[in-house]
Structure 1
């Protein structure tokens, strides 16, 4: 009955009357196929945000700005300002949200996902330099490999052209607000002939807010304070034949409190990247090529505690004092077009090595055990994409990718710190495999204003080093690692339609996905006592282990509307229905809201005055895999007012969660729950010169 209703809604949406207005030109999208393609030629659903969408948003961070898409969500209902970094895994269409995420996030082709755990540190992205963001929904492994199982998000920055004389521009944004929040961003570009120099810096601090709900909070609870700093410099040169090369270096640091005096984490990162692009002759035709390479080193530290029932004291139960992780990668692509057909081919490699170093098993005033666990992942892939006009109105595309992966150097060593003896030593065997992932699609341009698309695809994801080798504890809940986890695999199909005129764009999309061997934290028992496969679990806690669920079904419907009734006014609506469940039990996946609605308006009543509003609704979800802990439905409303008092200066005021909605983000078996961002007001100024 459900899918019959969805089909009827979809058909009704598809049979809209054809208007006589001019066809709308779509932007070029690079993420879906790793080469520029018109949005109207793609058989998959893509959200495109331009520079104004990202800069004039009601949100303070990039991840909050992307929530204008109903398909986008983080693992928990918290933004990056207050969430523990390990819970910032990205989910698209609610495809099994978890801390690792099943979505690849890129900045100019370089992965932003954490090399050890897969989560995303959004503040590394140079926000003022961003010119666009692309959210490609559906399995993306045919283009990008393992991490893109659920889709791909790419943040793109500006690229200056050579100038005859020295040209420079600077943009500075300073803002402050509630909870002692202060942020400063600087973007500077100088173009001197063939050379371009770019500097991006950001400093941020906030006292934060208290996450624990007031009825449960005690003397031990603290605001989630945060300090961040990042600096990025780039140098580009364009040769006389049009070849362009870029070198980029970035450093990042973060200090974060997680709600009590002892719960804190720290991140340090350094990255060096190089890219080049140009044109060459291939098969007697010009072809565009690109190449990228990067090296990254990072260290993460995190401390977990157990808080007393009265919430007046805590003790550290796990000190993850160092998680060093290194990564390196390289990729090359070539694209050529001829007679209304385009072909892109390429190859890439990626290497990741990481290890958690932590003390655990508290006795008295000290930890008695030490654990070192980690390994190495290596990926290599080749891919090809081809699309062509089959008729004047029908376009077909075919993509395929072959990946080889290997897990090596896997280990888990646990030492009794008192006696100095080894109590566990797992020297795990190496594993490897080969994955083949195709995608096929059709786009039918039925009229100038109306088109339909369909796509079928497969994708895979290799579990992260964190999922494979590192157990963890949050409060009294303990989750055991599983080095035998199999790669996840996905098969999906979608059917969509778009109707667009100069002032109106309507879109509908129905999809179904089957996710096999989905990695999930499966509850095996409750404390107090020994839970098989986990060990001793204290009272009030749950014992869980990472397992592969044989099959997860995700079915859904997306509807969106973008209407500009007047030059100064834009209205938008985005809706996601997503039914994600464990096929064996019929239970819903944790952290999945069946309904997500985003409504927005942008109004410019005067040339210098702008007003923006956005509301986001989430229906009920479950905290746990047993579907016993409910996260209540919530709706937040955000507002922004901007006034440009000079050609190069703008003042703005923004309020997130205007009505101070209590958004439940976490619940525990003993009744405690955490809340998301309360009402948050800030004001700022932006200079450009």
Structure 2
């Protein structure tokens, strides 16, 4: 109880609207279309550069936890495998897009994305869409969509930070921008930490180091037509803990994982006002090597996707519009133990809409053709209605699907009889204002949601079984074994309480159930909240605090291993020395909370960090 009392007293003196977004009008792309937040009935949270900078640090999870519906589990410290769940989904059921490129790894067992490889050092914006949206995005968008955009701005910026556990990071970005010609920009980041022991019982620190380069280019032929190209390369090395003989329990090991990720896209945009067209080619390549003490490879994997797509928006008359698109994707994978396989999928969609005065609505359908599973049809619709100035009623319904990963189909654990996962989600909510305190003194929202998922794929152990699905599968296989349901309530309140004082609370109640067994889904806490506030005692100084509160959950599908709830407090501050220089610092996990988000894996204790930013 003293923890909450401490935080409450601190918040009573907090401030400054650093939660504001820079954009005069917040436009989102996580919906799969260019649309303003107020014109969509879907639940979308946009976190801009100012807020990302105010939170501080490379750890992306501390930023994502400021959005409702988000639950995170991690195998150890920063850089360890990190799964992000939206509204009770599986982590691999969340589609992740970085700078317009889908970055799911076809070589990962479930085909998802490891957020341990994405740091917040040069992110410009995050968009989190919660709810099934395969109508626009196709496969993988069962739980929702997370879109991350890296910095692409003119001028020169630099940041350096140092802190606990010999953690150091740096960022440098530079860009040339001309309204008539285009933009050319490059950014680089570096992060290194001695880390903590990934195994909670371990004594050996497991470090992580990553460097990354991002490039952006645009060339304007005229005010209607442009060409663009983007690329990102990241290379990291992570110390691992494992399950060594003879006990085969999680403990210290000397194994290392090297990860190389290269993504890119190139295309053209035509914007006549009434018609917007974008055509692009993109690719995502992920290579992983696990090495033992002697440097010998113990495991390798390579995942690759190539994609061509066309997206458009046509406004034929007045408030009416039509979104449309088509794409074709080729994916492949190989591991040290599998020769590898590849597949192809294609899809097309159309979504009609009206955006007129107080009402905005969209309805659409999609057809996908998968080389292994045939045709899938998805539907979706959303609506937003302004009941009174600033107060909107929102509703959406959407379908989602996820094709089995190549690993689930063709590896030694594979099952060619798998069916795609299917979902239907809907939500209903009220929202007042916008989550941008630079223009609105208050923002509040309450949303009810539910998602039903069928044919959910899970790993089946074959220990002691040699018949049926376990025939010739001594170590286990994958099967469509589960029907699940997730439902609950999301609530947000962001308020400028007084001059220089801003307070916020984000809460989610998530009730999940395996509809076959009646048990709670693993690693989905029923309650999760983030309380935050900032205080600006003088013009150049800002103090802040963030408290994350998470209830108990279970680590396994059998509900036999409990994960205790936890409360983690971070205090932070920044001093604007001049227009070009800012100093900042924070203390994470102030009361040294001991907790786990994945059974057996440790989490970081108290740590202090300081840094500086330069803008030219």
TM range (shorter): 0.7 to 0.9
- Per the alignment, residue 135 of structure 1 pairs with 128
Q: Would the aligned equivalents of 1:51 and 1:130 in 2 still touch at CA under 8 Å?
A: yes
Deviations 1:399-438 (A, max 9, x none): 21111112xxxxxxxxxxxxxxxxxxxxxxxx23111111
- Per the alignment, residue 605 of structure 1 pairs with 537
Separation of aligned partners in 1, 2:595 and 2:403? 32
- Per the alignment, residue 398 of structure 1 pairs with 363
1:169-568 → structure 2 map (5 Å cutoff) = 169-191=155-177, 194-213=181-200, 216-217=201-202, 221-259=203-241, 260-280=252-272, 286-302=274-290, 320-337=298-315, 338-357=317-336, 371-389=337-355, 393-406=358-371, 431-470=372-411, 480-500=413-433, 502-523=440-461, 525=463, 533=470, 545-568=477-500
Give the C-alpha shift of residue 449 in structure 1. 2.5
What secondary structure does 1:375 align onto?
A: strand
Give the C-alpha shift of residue 261 in structure 1. 3.7
What secondary structure does 1:646 align onto?
A: coil
Give the C-alpha shift of residue 151 in structure 1. 0.6
Separation of aligned partners in 1, 2:534 and 2:417? 50
Counting matched residue pairs gives 575
Give the C-alpha shift of residue 253 in structure 1. 1.0
Alpha carbons of structure 1 residues 119 and 144: separation in structure 2 relative to 1, 3 Å: same
Separation of aligned partners in 2, 1:243 and 1:79? 47
Give the C-alpha shift of residue 138 in structure 1. 0.3
Give the C-alpha shift of residue 485 in structure 1. 2.3
- Residue 111 of structure 1 is aligned with which of 88, 102, 108? 102
- Per the alignment, residue 603 of structure 2 pairs with 676
- Residue 72 of structure 1 is aligned with which of 50, 70, 73? 70
- Per the alignment, residue 81 of structure 1 pairs with 78
Q: Would the aligned equivalents of 2:583 and 2:612 in 1 still touch at CA under 8 Å?
A: yes
- Per the alignment, residue 574 of structure 1 pairs with 506
Larger radius of gyration: 1
Q: Would the aligned equivalents of 1:649 and 1:688 in 2 still touch at CA under 8 Å?
A: yes
Deviations 1:588-614 (A, max 9, x none): 111111111111112222221112211
Query: Unpaired segments of 5 or more residues in structure 1?
Result: 1-24, 161-167, 305-313, 358-370, 407-430, 472-479, 538-542, 668-672
Deviations 1:582-637 (A, max 9, x none): 11110111111111111111222222111221111111111111111111111111
Give the C-alpha shift of residue 341 in structure 1. 2.1
Give the C-alpha shift of residue 522 in structure 1. 4.0
What secondary structure does 1:116 align onto?
A: coil
Alpha carbons of structure 1 residues 136 and 27: separation in structure 2 relative to 1, 3 Å: farther
Separation of aligned partners in 2, 1:35 and 1:666? 35
Deviations 1:14-42 (A, max 9, x none): xxxxxxxxxxx984333244332221221
Alpha carbons of structure 1 residues 530 and 576: separation in structure 2 relative to 1, 3 Å: same
Separation of aligned partners in 1, 2:569 and 2:464? 38
Give the C-alpha shift of residue 535 in structure 1. 8.2
- Residue 594 of structure 2 is aligned with which of 637, 654, 662? 662
Matched, 1:643 2:572: no
Separation of aligned partners in 1, 2:64 and 2:45? 10
Alpha carbons of structure 1 residues 329 and 677: separation in structure 2 relative to 1, 3 Å: same
Q: Would the aligned equivalents of 1:46 and 1:137 in 2 still touch at CA under 8 Å?
A: yes
Give the C-alpha shift of residue 60 in structure 1. 2.4
Deviations 1:133-192 (A, max 9, x none): 1111100111111021211111234556xxxxxxx5110111111111111111110236
What secondary structure does 2:601 align onto?
A: strand
Moved more, 511-520 or 108-117: 108-117
Deviations 1:639-673 (A, max 9, x none): 21111112101111122211111122333xxxxx2
Q: Would the aligned equivalents of 2:75 and 2:598 in 1 still touch at CA under 8 Å?
A: no
- Per the alignment, residue 147 of structure 2 pairs with 154
Q: Would the aligned equivalents of 1:142 and 1:459 in 2 still touch at CA under 8 Å?
A: yes
Alpha carbons of structure 1 residues 675 and 586: separation in structure 2 relative to 1, 3 Å: same
- Per the alignment, residue 308 of structure 1 pairs with none
Query: Unpaired segments of 5 or more residues in structure 2?
Result: 1-22, 242-251, 435-439
Alpha carbons of structure 1 residues 28 and 58: separation in structure 2 relative to 1, 3 Å: closer
